[in-house]
Structures are given as C-alpha cells and as structure tokens.
Amino acid sequence: MKIINLMATLVATTLFFGVFMTSAVYAEDEMVTLRWASFVSPKSIQNAVSVPAFAKAVAEASGGTLKIEHFPGGTLGSSPAQQLSMVENGVADIAEVVVAYSPGRFPELATFELPFLAKSNTEAGLAAWKLYEKGLLSDFDDLMLVGIIISGPYGVSTNKPVKSLADFSGLRLRAAGPIQNEIVSSLGAVPIGNISAPAIAESMSRGLIDGTLMAPGLIHPFRIADVAEHHLFDLKLGSVAIIFPMRRDTYEKLPPRAKAAFDEFSGEWITRKLGEDLDIQEAIAIDRLRSGADQGVVDDWEDASIEQAKAALTPLLSKYDTKNEKGVNLYRETLSAIEEVRSGN
C-alpha cells in the first residue's frame, strides 16, 4: 500500500508540475496587445517616428508576444484633457497626456515649465526621467511612467512682431496652466486660458488671441503657422511636460517575455528617442519658418533685451526656488538633473 501511495503521489506531483509548466509556457508565448493613444496628429514626429520605433522594438524583442496598437489623431478620444482618464478607465493602455491639462496631478513636473532651464527636449526629458527614478515625482502609485517628453523650450508665435519686451504689452497670449499664466503676465502680456492646443489656430483666426506660447516643433502640427507670422525663440520660456502613463496593474499582468521587452525599451530608451526626434523636428520647423515667404523668425533680440526679460521673470523663479512640503527643492533638483544629463551621467 505504501508503494501504491508513493506512486500515486509521484503521478500527482508530475501532473501538477506538468500543468504548471504548460501554463507557464502558455503565458510566456501569449500575444498581448497594448493600445497607445494620442490626440496629436499622426504627422507629429512622436506619432510618425518615435512611437512606431518603440512598437517595432518591443515586438521584435518580445518574439512577437507584445504588440503596440497605435491610435494617433484622437481616434480613441480627441480631448487632450481626457487622455489621463482614458488610461485610468481602461479605454487606452498608454496615452499622450499633457500634464498641464490635469491640474493638481504630477505637481513636480510643473517645475519644467519655468523659463531658462533646459536647452533641448532631449536633456529636459532625460532629466525628468532621473527625477522619476529617484522617486521625486508623486502620483505614480497606481500608474507607471512609460516615457516622457518635456516639450520645448517654448517660444512665442504671434500675428504682431515682438522685437522688444515693450512689444509684449497688451498682447493676448494663450497660456496653458498657472506657470505659463505667470510668465505671460510677467512679460506684460495678457494670459488667455481654456484654449486647447488644437484650438489655438482657430482662436487666432477669430481674433480671440494675438498669439501663443508654443514649442517650435508643434507650430506646424497644430497649424499655428497658418495664422501666426512672427515667431520669437530667443527667449526660452519653459517647457511643458507630456507623459505617457500606463496603469501599473496592466503592466504587472504582462507575460514574462513581453514584460522583459517592455522593460528594455520603455523608460530611458523611449524618453531619449522622443526627445531626440522632437529636437530634430524643431530644427526642421524653424528652418521651414525661416524659408516661408509669409513667416518671420525674430532672432535679433539684443543681449540687453534678453536680460531685461530675465529680470522680469526672476520673481517667478524665486517663487519656486524653495522646498516643498516634503522638504525637497524641486527647482534645484531639476537643475541638478539637467546638469547630470549634460555631463553624461
């Protein structure tokens, strides 16, 4: 009887491990599709180049077990303000989320909206990723950051020439969020809110605003060049954080092979790719504006005028050069992270 019982135990154990191994193999080879949503035009550099490159990389690394299905141009939801809720509600697995459209969420990333910080999208994005890795960005308990764009530095596109600080006086400029409002006001202009990026061109054509703060690479995708003839990039008026969040429980459910591929190309890889591609797009956009018969790039601001604008914005910088309720000076941490990126660390 003991021998029979032992044999039965061995058979049961073998069957158990056989079933376990079969299910593990099945999970490893299971095809998973993640929906990546963007309200931005399919022709934007991130949707035409960066995201497809990520999708291809993870598909190949996963052995075909992970597919990124891309939905640009608002095909899953066109409202910029609803992108975060689309992820949280499961409409999309990953989405392009402009942080300024979610007041009170991810407050530390607002630091990048301050003027005269980063010189490029790449260094700003990688600096933001460093802050995330250090655990300095809040509100990511149930979300994970797949990648990030710190879009900018922003310039000013207007239907009137701005050749000195005095020319800002009375201009109605579209501003997104509290910091951009303060920037516009500090320069002597009038901030106008509640205008989404896709609605800027129409608002200018209707005479509701005279211009907007905008990154060079987004001027053509949002058709701002159709209504704004003057573009000032000498003043680096901060950047806007665009995150690509994913629900943490969605990530944790990925099969091992798919998760390994996702880990390899999310984070720093896609953040660098997004930044470098956007920097290329911005250089092309500025060249395109320079060559346009009805466009003008104002790049002859004298050093004295730039210093005058910096002086006008110094109180704003001082306001954020302080420790938050957690005892962290995000402004200083951001400067430090940018320097780390510049030094190659």
DSSP codes of every residue in 41-88:
-TTSHIIIIIHHHHHHHHHHHTTTSEEEEEE-TTSS---GGGHHHHHH
Cβ atoms of 72 and 42 within 8 Å: the answer is: yes
Q: Indicate the burial class of 308 (C-beta count within 10 angstroms; 0-12, 13-18, 19 or more).
A: middle
In the prediction, which pLDDT does 101 show? 85
How many CA atoms are closer than 13 Å to the CA of 59, on its beta-carbon side?
12
Q: What is the spatial distance between Cα 198 and Cα 205, in angstroms, rounded to a whole number?
A: 13
Q: What is the pTM of this model?
A: 0.84
In the prediction, which pLDDT does 338 show? 97
Sequence ranges of the domains in the chain:
101-345
Where the chain has pLDDT below 50, the residues are 1-26
Superfamily grouping for domain 101-345:
Bacterial extracellular solute-binding protein, family 7 (3.40.190.170)
Plot region of 177 (φ>0 → left; ψ -120 to 50 → alpha; else → beta): left
Provide the 8-state DSSP code for 177.
S
In the prediction, which pLDDT does 73 show? 95
